[in-house]
Structure 1
């Protein structure tokens, strides 16, 4: 027997106060903000500096894959009315525990990078080492989990900073000489294809817990069944659209700096873009942004990754409730200690995206298998184009992941 929760057991958001569209947009921005963390910023800047206009091809592939992955996963979760780990265990007993483990491990990788990103932000602002900054960030994250209202303040602060970040990116694109023709040409006709960059940015955008965050949020909002597919489509496409626009803008801003012959600082490449185009103000502002993005990502990654572990403790809810805070604190402490010992925040932020890119084909394959199970999906017929393209993503990401691993040796 599996520990299959009924649909009525899912926590519901007050439907009287929130419309389905509001819930869908909440899921969209949860996914987008989870994706646009310090790793996202650092990965985009790093590969732009290394590959120039050819990185546009990786971004194009990433956007296409993001749409396919999120449309598949969100639809399957919402139509079935069950979380991903429950679906996995229904396909094959024990598979849900494997998926929970993979997501938790991927979340831990993300968290190591997120703590490092927050520490890097403090390094920009105050000159302290990224390692010591990570310790401060880890302590602050623990405090936020204890003082719940702080989480709301943090979320609202980052939303405001995200708007300002976009405004500065627009400013950079306007005042700098962006080689648009070169960018478009190499996006569709690259002279070099780097599998590592594709695996990394796809994994950093829809890998690990991020691919499930939006779908699970829709469940918590009470949106289940075929009747809510239009909200799934709107939420998934909006979230991907927001993240993709920011990535393209950062790519163009970075390319405008790179073509001048300027070398991005390998220890903090994204900050280099802001510093070159907007001076010390841009550099310091980016420090605030990186710290805030890192902190928010630490909280989101910790909460979502540890929530997958509630399936591992089954119906022993007392155990889960009594020890959940200890689990959360331990998750943050381990992430912080590992980063403190490893250091090199920029390299860590790139690596964690690649690590979660390895997990993506496994988790997507599990959900695609669930889509063919009539016991789980009822009379719903998953669109063939999503099924076929979904398996193509699984095959490509598995191949690219293997190629990347072989390239490391």
Structure 2
């Protein structure tokens, strides 16, 4: 065989290996390793990963379902660079598992444009559910409006980002779309083009505006003043605007919030009561911003979360009210109106941190007399605080659904 033929054979063999490495022919989800992970993340708009362990029974139940869904997704979206469903054997790829902070099996994570999203997949573990989830993830994250009056009827309870552009093929719009793809779960994204928005921005100078959820917060529109061609700068700005200090807890996100491991300070309110939400947010943002690393500030629809209210000995007629869920017990703030007393809500948090709320749970109120603290007697225990056990902890990851590596709560 001539040297020329040998060289061609070597090149052909190399190209085949590379092709098969990044385009596996076997069915099911793509097996991801430390060697091919970064290339896969960088070359695909969406990567959906199943982190599993072979000894985990929940992983074994999920694997054939996930593989079948991967085949169907591959049929629905055959074009390269769009979506990959992958899987990682965390025992063999421990460095990858550590990189993505895997604490339970199986964990299902979404990576968009090379960046992990905050939210894991926590829905139904069926083929159809996975396929529908992928289809929804690949929908255009931006809704186009064709009349400025359309902006007047947007949902005032939603956080909204609006872009004004000359045309779609601008690099600034491409950057806007990448950011919208990453943060579409946190904000609603809208865009207008050409003559529709000509009066809103100078020619050739696109503008991006954040519109807060004015129905439940006192805030004004803000214009992005940075570089629209800098993805990191724009992404950070939008993320700061779209991920609020005070979040709403729902049955859909309760597992995610609980897994963060921080105690909850919760405002329970009537569904149509927006004023108490505004007041609560104003107090939190004005007085308790420094506590955001220690506690999750939340609001909860008191009608939907009637069960925790019942455990507190309260009902919808008692709303609004504030409580702490420490994942051991729930503690009721004495009076919603006390929130407006400067320092009162912060002291409530300090009593949690110091253990005072927990001590009072066991021993009754701590009585102060002549600058001394006395532990209540057994008789005092009967009239002391008796908070119920945590109800939100039960909404966290279940050992009937996951193999938990450690109890983070």
Higher strand share: 2
Report which structure shows greater RCO (CA 8 Å, sep ≥6).
1
After TM superposition, the score normalised by the length of structure 1 is: 0.22
